[in-house]
A = this chain, B = another copy of it.
């Protein structure tokens, strides 16, 4: 495995490396870890990566790796750069035949996303988008239960992603604002809150229910006058038929850490999950006691059980969720059998970009319904 981005100070790059080691199907052999080549080399040294596989650019990496015999060459590259760089790097790497693991949001525009989808499909490569939360065993169990029809007709869907970390930044000094690439449209794209976290809530809905959001009506807020991107918003969503729902996301909910919740209400039963205690899945019904599903039990589906390795009551967390996605991607790369849902695909990336852009369009156009 090679890596692009993720040098000193980048928590997400570290998370990907840990996940790849937990999964144990990958070995990090090289990469471009920082735009500053000196820093990149220092980082490679600290990680025990040979100097000659720490490259000055993605282009250099591609050229050099392709020159290696296939058995030594990187098979897959993990892209953990700021958002704006995902597309150009992904495009070049796919053209060169590398499998990819890529952070979300996948691209800056819907067109770029469709372009990557075409490339991946055409070249029959593996592309895993790290919507990490889909790696949790109980999210996978939720998908399984919903697919089984136990909820009956779905009547309402409600997803939330509340954080507070930008709060201290926007109320802080100017320097801190400029220091956060997520608030800069050049690096982050058309949206901060919806692009960074709202899209996770959207993805969890489509992942667990198998339904597609058809239309959105969004009201976003920049919270402060001098902020250019949305930091907060509510999105009304419709799924066709009578089914409606809501996606709520905010980066200014002071004190919230990473408060993702998902509730799917059906005519016969309902399911609720919250990320901060990810090993609890609640099934509600009108006629029976509420049930709590937990990992490492025979009552779970196959994919949920394969996604947790410790005995019951030994909590696994976010790194293991990401490792589950790496494991799914590894199976795909090795052309082993795997189940739908073992990792988010380039198509999930396309859906995410469509969501982000429709939400921003709806908001700009005066809070009207926009097709996704």
Establish whether residues B257 and A313, one from each chain, have CB atoms under 8 Å apart when the complex forms.
yes
Establish whether residues A255 and B270, one from each chain, have CB atoms under 8 Å apart when the complex forms.
yes
Q: Counting chain B CB atoms within 10 Å of each CB, which of A22, A156, A369 scores highest? A: A156
A17 to B255, CA, bound (A): 36
**Interface residue total, chain A, C-beta cutoff 8 A:** 86
A72 to B314, CA, bound (A): 35
Stretch from A180-188, A279-287, A325-333 that touches the partner: A279-287
A224: interface (CB < 8 Å) = yes
Q: Residues of B contacting A255 with CB < 8 Å?
A: 265, 269-270, 283-286, 290
A268 to B164, CA, bound (A): 10
Shortest CB-to-CB span from A117 to chain B, Å, is: 29
- 283-320 of chain A: CB within 8 A of chain B: 283-294, 296-299, 309-320
Establish whether residues A265 and B246, one from each chain, have CB atoms under 8 Å apart when the complex forms.
no
A268 to B234, CA, bound (A): 22
State the oligomeric state as a number of copies.
4
Shortest CB-to-CB span from A293 to chain B, Å, is: 5
Q: Residues of B contacting A313 with CB < 8 Å?
A: 163, 256-259, 275-276
Q: Can you offer 9 A-B residue contacts whose CB atoms are under 8 A? A: A11-B311, A22-B22, A165-B312, A236-B367, A254-B270, A255-B290, A290-B292, A291-B292, A316-B319
A155: interface (CB < 8 Å) = yes
Q: Residues of B contacting A278 with CB < 8 Å?
A: 315
A320 to B320, CA, bound (A): 10
Q: Residues of B contacting A162 with CB < 8 Å?
A: 265
A156 to B265, CA, bound (A): 25
A73 to B152, CA, bound (A): 55
Shortest CB-to-CB span from A200 to chain B, Å, is: 12
A267: interface (CB < 8 Å) = yes
Establish whether residues B254 and A314, one from each chain, have CB atoms under 8 Å apart when the complex forms.
no
A217: interface (CB < 8 Å) = yes
Establish whether residues B248 and A167, one from each chain, have CB atoms under 8 Å apart when the complex forms.
no
Known: A11-B311, A14-B309, A367-B369. 18 other contacts (CB 8 A): A18-B309, A22-B22, A165-B312, A217-B219, A250-B265, A253-B284, A254-B265, A254-B268, A255-B285, A256-B270, A257-B312, A259-B313, A288-B299, A289-B292, A292-B292, A310-B319, A315-B317, A316-B319
A58: interface (CB < 8 Å) = no
- The contact of A254 among B242, B267, B279, by CB within 8 Å, is B267
Shortest CB-to-CB span from A52 to chain B, Å, is: 21
Q: Residues of B contacting A246 with CB < 8 Å?
A: 234, 246, 248
A277: interface (CB < 8 Å) = yes
Q: Counting chain B CB atoms within 10 Å of each CB, which of A232, A263, A317 scores highest? A: A317
Establish whether residues B285 and A156, one from each chain, have CB atoms under 8 Å apart when the complex forms.
no
A349: interface (CB < 8 Å) = no
A49: interface (CB < 8 Å) = no
A128: interface (CB < 8 Å) = no
